[in-house]
Amino acid sequence: MAFDPATLTYTSDGLIPCIAQDVEDGAVLMMAWMNAEAVTKTLETGRVTYWSRSRRAFWVKGESSGHVQELVDLRVDCDRDCLLAVVRQTGPACHTNRRSCFYTSVTHGDEVELMRPMVD
Amino acid sequence: MAFDPATLTYTSDGLIPCIAQDVEDGAVLMMAWMNAEAVTKTLETGRVTYWSRSRRAFWVKGESSGHVQELVDLRVDCDRDCLLAVVRQTGPACHTNRRSCFYTSVTHGDEVELMRPMVD
């Protein structure tokens, strides 16, 4: 069946969450939002492209930092209201220069930092 | 630093997305929503507990199906507006009986099913 971004379920703001997972080791890197046009751009260009809610603009991941995400596979969930982008990540995915945005663990009631910023 | 669910960033509906990842092989299983009380329940019970938006009720994953998620680690992202639950999953995570909700790949413009329902 041909894929049509219009068949996805979006929020009232026209957005759908997209999880980025590293193809190398399966690490969950980040979650950000796309609109239908960002989904299309991601598939057409092979560069993962989100919609920045704060800037209200397309956000080609890594366009300024160089920390690009090359799309390996885009997956749709059963409810069609969440996406999973399997990616080849260059450098850190997180704006803090950590590899993943999920670097804080809740352990025995405390917040514990699991990873330090990557050094370029 | 002590973790306080009230310090997370929730949507205007009081919800935060939570990604579930299998501890065994890193597979991304599903994404669902929690409110602050569901986060607390998840940490206190060790059973991943979401908030069902359709039923407007707590949803102890697997409570009726037996396909429970035992919490291994709960992680918070850099913006504190998304959670990652590393889990030990019993049976399929998806209501379609597939292991993961992300069983559809967009490949060369077509939707391709990557996995079949698990047999009990």
Structural domains of chain A sorted by starting position, each given as residue range(s) with its CATH number in brackets: 8-90 (3.10.20.810)
- Chain B positions in Cβ-Cβ contact with residue A82 (cut-off 8 Å): 31, 101-102
Which residue is closest to B19 within chain A, CA to CA?
Answer: A19
pLDDT, tens digit, 9 for 90 and up, residues A50-73:
999 999 999 999 999 999 999 999
pLDDT at position A120 is 59
Burial (CB count within 10 angstroms: exposed 0-12, middle 13-18, buried 19+), residue B90: middle
Annotated ligand binding at A94? The verdict is yes
Residues 6+ apart with CB under 8 A from B63: none
The candidate with the shortest Cα–Cα distance to B28, out of B36, B17, B39, is B17
Give B111→chain A minimum CA distance, Å: 5
pLDDT grade for A31, boundaries at 50, 70 and 90: very high
pLDDT, tens digit, 9 for 90 and up, residues B73-113:
999 999 999 999 999 999 999 999 999 999 999 999 999 99
pLDDT, tens digit, 9 for 90 and up, residues B49-60:
999 999 999 999
Which residue is closest to A7 within chain B, CA to CA?
Answer: B111
